[in-house]
Amino acid sequence: MGLTAKNRGHALRQRGARVTLCLLLLTSPGFLLAKSAASSQGEKLGEQSPTHAENRAQAPLPPPSQRKTVNRIVAITNDEIITLYDLLQAGAPIFDRIEAEYEGAARDAKMKAAMSDLLDKMIDYKLIEQQARKIGITVEEKEIDRQLEELKKSQNLTQEQLEMALARDGMTLADYRKEIRTRLLTSRYVEYLVRQRVKITEEKLRQYYTQHLDRFRQAGGGDVRIADIFLPFPDGGEAAKEKVVEEARRIRKEIEGGLPFAEAVRKYSEGYNIAEGGDLGFLKLDQLQPEFREALEGLKPGGISDPIETERGLHLLQLIEVRNAPILPFEQVKSQIMSELYQKEYQKMLSNLSQEL
């Protein structure tokens, strides 16, 4: 009849039993029947001739709309059942893909593994639903409606288009609503567990703050002090422009060879502050042109950028000094840290949940 899991489904948590179950499902008579075959041969559900059973493994899986499934019980979790129909309906897109991509023994092995994994998840979700109900967690129909409306809006779908898309994946709207309900219940149940079990103290918050100070610097990335060599583009089209590009590369090589940047400015630049060696002083990093910010990225003080092209000409920048943005005070980022730590615990709890059920 299937497997029974009392005491919150502990017996079902045994992986070996689940694999055995999936092997039985794939080798049991009546695993799948096409409607046409069942009606033409007059077979009862679950009864097939030996010839039919032998050939079944090599026959293609009918599309979801043409399947007729023996509605046998494959798992019981605290008196609630999961049927073979439920399993096949939930995994229809996966099973269809396996049928299309594999043949023979490889297909059967893939199908068994997919069914085992899916049954694991279905049992987990069933147990989560049960635990959620025990503590009063619910999902209202209007919440599911809202999720569907948001999906249609984001994907620019009408109701009819949504239902057609679901049908292509072997799902009805009712199936999808059930999936949304399960997802919301799972999320809320994990949030409940985190709130009940995780205690984030002031000390823990301050420790995290101290260990990640650079993450809490004021937006804008601080100030940079730079010097600039500017070479304007002359009239004369692409040929004249290319000469400027070549000159910029040559100047950069000279600087790398030992020519002081300030001297190169006085010798070649047609930009600002030539007498000061092209020093532009401290500038807000987030207020620089995007191409300048990109060129400075990764440079250390004293480093020279590659030539930077703008509409008017080429620039060579030297990074002289970096002044980091001030660190925001703890009280200002405390709630942000709390949220980050809870999110980490949420993900950890979610990944460990199946072991607890």
DSSP code, position 233: P
182 backbone dihedrals φ, ψ, rounded to 5°: -60, -40
Enter the pTM of the model: 0.47
Residue 338 near residue 228 (C-beta atoms within 8 A)? no
The residue type found at 104 is G
**In DSSP terms, which residues pair with 265 in a beta bridge?**
none
pLDDT means per 10 residues, the chain with 357 residues, are: 40 34 39 32 32 36 48 84 86 89 93 92 86 90 95 94 88 90 88 85 94 80 90 87 93 95 95 92 89 88 93 94 87 93 83 65
CA gap 61, 66 in Å, rounded: 9
Q: Does domain 223-323 fall into CATH 3.40.50.2300?
A: no
pLDDT at 297: 84
pLDDT at 355: 61
**In DSSP terms, which residues pair with 317 in a beta bridge?**
228
CA gap 18, 354 in Å, rounded: 14
DSSP code, position 214: G
CA nearest neighbour of 335 among 198, 218, 200: 200
What does the angle CA 212 – CA 217 – CA 218 come to, to the nearest 5 degrees?
155
Maximum Cα–Cα distance across the chain: 100
Pairing of strands 80-83, 313-323: unpaired
Residues 6+ apart with CB under 8 A from 94: 114, 118
CA gap 288, 292 in Å, rounded: 6
User: What region does 281 belong to: left with phi over 0, alpha with psi -120 to 50, or beta?
Assistant: left
3-state helix, strand, coil in the chain (%, to 5): 60, 15, 30
pLDDT at 69: 45
